[in-house]
Amino acid sequence: MIHALEVEGLVKEYKQLRAVDSLSFVLNEGEILGLLGPNGSGKSTTINCILSLLRFQEGTIRIFGKEMSPKAYDIKRDIGVIFQDVAVFDELTVWDNIDYFCGLYIRDRKQRRQYVEEAIELVSIGEYKKFYPKQLSGGLLRRLNIACGIVHKPKLLFFDEPTVAVDPQSRNSILESIVRLRDEGASVIYTSHYMEEVEQICDRIIILDQGKIIAEGTADSLKDLVKTEEKLIFELRSVSPAQLEALQGLSIVSAAVFEKNRLTVSLKEGTETIAPVLEWMKRQKLRYSKVYSERPTLNDVFLELTGKGLRD
């Protein structure tokens, strides 16, 4: 079976630093694969190596079964990249920017016009066709950046943190566009350090730390890795250290943390009733304004595997 992308034993060193450490993974055709990792975990370096923009020490990259190299122009035609830093021309309008990038691949004017219109429609920036990049908000600028990267209808797409510092409306629009591209047949690598997004749109997730894969699977299968089954969260003013310690002593509790008026009680695997915790709260006369439960998040997975949070 041919994969959209195969990375085998990739090693990239910057002087002493091993930024990518023996990375191997595949991207199936028609899926969104998330590379989730904190700042500096090697996401961008991995993408730049895959694209032959960076030389690397070891490893093989195959794209749709063919070995990638700096001169593999036939492969590059099928690739679209949306870089972490916005790269558009300030002196061109929205339309002309997208048309410029399209023109690198598509000669026919009529077809080009149609592709540009479709890219504009995909990221919903139709009202801004005649605007210059400087006139756009951060979110709209990112959407323009995406339109430029996908306009030639590539089969393999790389999105490197496309939603950093964008407003919620643009963020949703961007995530929806990526899912639509996947539904229309593209294969997608999506990097982020926002676990909620990765969880929302990715079919599979690779968790990276210090250039290594520390876990891989669907969001659900990754969450099955953690020992915490469920968390109970109480909103209240204060809890004493002695109370926290006593709470941790309950047989169904694996951890209890009080932070910013939130008491988070992690329950052990297989816990079927939360009654002992509620009874304990009552006995302690701890009154809370709100209580709710949460399933473990990908941050909990990261925390258990590395001992630190995704956004440290």
Question: Which residues are at the interface with ligand ATP (CB under 6 A)?
Answer: 14, 17, 19, 37, 39-45, 84, 193
**Measured between alpha carbons, how far is 182 from 157 in angstroms, rounded to an integer?**
9
- List the one residue from 31, 36, 44, 158 that touches Mg ion (CB under 5 A): 44
**Measured between alpha carbons, how far is 201 from 197 in angstroms, rounded to an integer?**
6
Residue 19 interacts, among ligand ATP, Mg ion, none and using kind-specific CB cut-offs from 5 to 8 Å, with ligand ATP
- Closest separation in Å from C-beta 44 to ligand ATP: 3
Task: Specify the residue for token string 């496309």.
Answer: 162
Residue 296 interacts, among ligand ATP, Mg ion, none and using kind-specific CB cut-offs from 5 to 8 Å, with none
* End-to-end CA, the chain: 39
- Closest separation in Å from C-beta 224 to Mg ion: 28
- Closest separation in Å from C-beta 191 to ligand ATP: 7
**Measured between alpha carbons, how far is 155 from 147 in angstroms, rounded to an integer?**
15
**Measured between alpha carbons, how far is 39 from 291 in angstroms, rounded to an integer?**
33
Residue 45 interacts, among Mg ion, ligand ATP, none and using kind-specific CB cut-offs from 5 to 8 Å, with ligand ATP
- Closest separation in Å from C-beta 10 to ligand ATP: 12
- Closest separation in Å from C-beta 50 to Mg ion: 13
**Smaller CB separation from ligand ATP, 45 or 145:** 45
Binding mask 73-92 for Mg ion (x = CB under 5 A): -----------x--------
**Smaller CB separation from ligand ATP, 21 or 229:** 21
**Smaller CB separation from ligand ATP, 211 or 296:** 211
**Smaller CB separation from ligand ATP, 41 or 173:** 41
For residue 170, state whether it binds Mg ion (rule: CB under 5 A). no
Q: Smallest Cα–Cα separation from 120: which of 131, 128, 112?
A: 128
**Smaller CB separation from ligand ATP, 17 or 53:** 17
